[in-house]
């Protein structure tokens, strides 16, 4: 048996509970992993708040798409060994003390990377890689990143800078110093945003990434970026369809980029292990405090990643 988080109904974080469930042995092509940390992402709470539907047959629902941990058993045809330190993405039911996953979901964890950082790397990192690739951001470009101090935003800021781009990032609260530390030029969102960006970049903006889903982010992007195919959103799916910008991820009509995101995993692990890419962990929580972790995440003011530690 192992401890797992379950959503027992549809609603808010109060529907989450920790229960004991069988973990089982790995079959062909599978490995069992003792979870040292599990990344928290918006897709986790969307799965039980009704954003993806309210099918009662899907309850109780397991949560968690990314983990870091240690291999405790392997099935046939698996090129892993007991004791290997790994990062798992994409997994199913990662909010757990131990789970069985496809071996193809695992990549080696660099020894220099902490457990919490490793668990928070892949979903945000792969999303950022997808967004930057889809908008063709490269050396000499100026890119506007909406929500630059969030989990995906901080990855996008760093990865865009590694590509040789100039980054302007929208922030609120106390996110400016953090964004500036990673080489971006922060600008506060709100009334007048387009004008403030123009002051910073009188030569124009080549691409924009909407990582928050607000009308302001889409409207300002449309105003500043000439080529709508160089504007991408991971949240404003209705606006994407209406305005002809790129929708990425799991929303309606969006490009999931599955192969691209999977292919990015070794690159992300290598960059983080070498210190060229930093995973900012805003807070860690024991598994039993998952509801509080989700409340903080849903408030939308977290700079970096929230992580569960079983």
Does residue 51 carry a pLDDT above 90? no
C-alpha 115/C-alpha 161 separation (Å) is 25
Sheet bearing 2-7, strands edge to edge: 16-21, 2-7, 61-62
DSSP bridge pairs for 287 = none
C-alpha 225/C-alpha 183 separation (Å) is 21
Average of per-residue pLDDT values in the chain: 96
Tens-place pLDDT, residues 105-160: 999 999 999 999 999 999 999 999 999 999 999 999 999 999 999 999 999 999 99
113 closest CA partner among 273, 292, 239: 273
Contact (CB, 8 A) for 28 and 75:
yes
Q: What are the DSSP E strand ranges found in the chain?
A: 2-7, 16-21, 30-40, 61-62, 67-74, 85-88, 98-102, 106-108, 142-146, 166-171, 185-188, 207-210, 231-233, 246-247, 281-286, 305-309
Tens-place pLDDT, residues 26-38: 999 999 999 999 9
Domains identified in the chain and CATH numbers: 2-121+279-309 (3.90.180.10), 127-247 (3.40.50.720)
Q: What is the pTM of this model?
A: 0.94
Tens-place pLDDT, residues 56-114: 999 999 999 999 999 999 999 999 999 999 999 999 999 999 999 999 999 999 999 99
What would the two tokens of residue 68 be?
């870091």
Res 173: pLDDT: 79
Of the pLDDT bands very low, low, confident and very high (cuts 50, 70, 90), residue 172 is confident
Q: How far is CA 140 from the centre of its chain?
A: 26
């Amino acid at each position: 048996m192992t401890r797992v988080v379950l959503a027992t109904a549809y609603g808010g974080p109060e529907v989450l509970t920790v229960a004991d469930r069988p973990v089982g042995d790995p079959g062909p092509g599978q490995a069992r992993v003792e979870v040292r940390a599990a990344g928290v992402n918006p897709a986790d709470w969307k799965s039980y708040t009704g954003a993806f539907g309210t099918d009662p047959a899907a309850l109780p629902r397991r949560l968690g798409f990314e983990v870091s941990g240690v291999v405790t058993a392997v099935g046939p045809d698996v090129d892993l060994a007991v004791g290997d330190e790994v990062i798992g993405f994409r997994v199913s039911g990662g909010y757990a003390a131990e789970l069985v996953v496809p071996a193809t979901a695992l990549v080696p964890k660099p020894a220099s990377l902490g457990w919490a950082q490793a668990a928070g790397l892949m979903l945000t990192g792969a999303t950022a890689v997808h967004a930057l690739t889809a908008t063709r951001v490269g050396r000499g470009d100026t890119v506007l990143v909406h929500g630059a101090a969030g989990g995906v935003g901080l990855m996008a800021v760093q990865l865009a800078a590694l590509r040789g781009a100039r980054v302007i990032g929208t922030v609120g609260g106390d996110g400016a110093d953090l964004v500036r530390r990673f080489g971006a030029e922060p600008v506060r969102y709100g009334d007048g945003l387009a004008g403030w960006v123009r002051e910073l970049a009188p030569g124009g903006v080549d691409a924009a990434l909407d990582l928050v889903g607000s009308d302001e982010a889409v409207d300002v992007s449309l105003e500043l970026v000439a080529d709508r195919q160089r504007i991408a959103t991971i949240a404003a799916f209705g606006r994407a369809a209406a305005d002809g910008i790129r929708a990425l991820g799991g929303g309606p009509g969006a490009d999931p980029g599955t192969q691209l995101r999977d292919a990015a995993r070794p690159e992300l692990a290598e960059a983080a292990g070498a210190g060229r890419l930093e995973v900012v962990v805003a807070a860690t929580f024991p598994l039993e405090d998952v509801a509080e972790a989700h409340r903080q995440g849903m408030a939308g003011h977290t700079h970096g990643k929230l992580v569960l530690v079983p």
